[in-house]
C-alpha cells in the first residue's frame, strides 16, 4: 500500500510521518516511534493493554488506524510522567501494588487517568465498570481500584 503523510503530536512532540493506511496507532507507536511502553496483548480490542489517549479520550490503539489521528494529540504512558517525576497515578499503583507482572500496567494506568478525567471515579463500583475493559491476568484488580480511589480523593 502507498504511504500517506500523517501529522500528529505524540507526547508533546510534533511528528511528520509517512504511514501505510493499514497501520494501526499501536504499531505506529511501537514500531515507527519506538514507544514500546504501550503493549500489544490481543490486537483486537479485548484486553486494554494498548490503551492510550487521543485528544484526552482513551482509545484502544490496536483498533485505531494511525491515519485517523491526523492533527490530534496522542499521549502514551511515556508522556504521562517521567523517571524523575512520576504521575500521581503511577505513584498510587506502586503504593497499592496495582500490578504483578506489569504487562497490562501501561494500559491500566492510561485508563485509570481517563476514568478520573472523564468523571467515572465516584465510587468503587463505577471505577470497576469503567475499568472492565482492561484485563489483568495476575488479578491485581482490587489494588487498582484502591489506587484510583486514592488519586480521586
Give contact residues for ligand FES (rule: CB under 6 A).
Answer: 40-43, 45-50, 60, 62
Q: Closest CB to ligand FES among 46 and 123?
A: 46
Q: Which of 37, 45, 60, 67 is nearest to 111 (CA)?
A: 60
CA distances from 150 to 10, 70, 92, 129, 142 (A): 28, 35, 7, 17, 13
Least CB distance to ligand FES at residue 62 (A): 3
Q: Closest CB to ligand FES among 91 and 103?
A: 103
The enclosing H or E element of 77 equals helix 77-80
Q: Closest CB to ligand FES among 66 and 151?
A: 66
Least CB distance to ligand FES at residue 61 (A): 6
Residue with cell 487517568: 113
Least CB distance to ligand FES at residue 128 (A): 18
Amino acid at each position: 500500500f502507498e504511504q500517506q503523510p500523517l501529522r500528529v503530536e505524540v507526547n508533546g512532540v510534533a511528528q511528520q510521518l509517512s504511514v501505510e493506511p493499514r497501520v494501526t496507532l499501536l504499531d505506529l507507536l511501537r514500531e515507527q516511534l519506538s514507544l514500546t511502553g504501550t503493549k500489544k496483548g490481543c490486537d483486537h480490542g479485548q484486553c486494554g493493554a494498548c490503551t492510550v489517549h487521543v485528544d484526552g479520550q482513551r482509545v484502544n490503539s490496536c483498533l485505531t488506524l494511525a491515519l485517523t489521528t491526523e492533527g490530534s494529540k496522542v499521549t502514551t504512558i511515556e508522556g504521562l510522567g517521567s523517571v524523575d517525576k512520576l504521575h500521581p497515578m503511577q505513584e498510587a499503583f506502586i503504593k497499592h501494588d496495582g500490578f504483578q507482572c506489569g504487562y497490562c500496567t501501561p494500559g491500566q494506568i492510561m485508563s485509570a487517568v481517563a476514568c478520573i478525567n472523564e468523571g467515572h471515579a465516584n465510587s468503587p463500583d463505577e471505577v470497576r465498570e469503567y475499568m472492565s475493559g482492561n484485563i489483568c491476568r495476575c488479578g491485581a484488580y482490587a489494588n487498582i481500584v484502591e489506587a484510583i480511589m486514592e488519586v480521586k480523593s
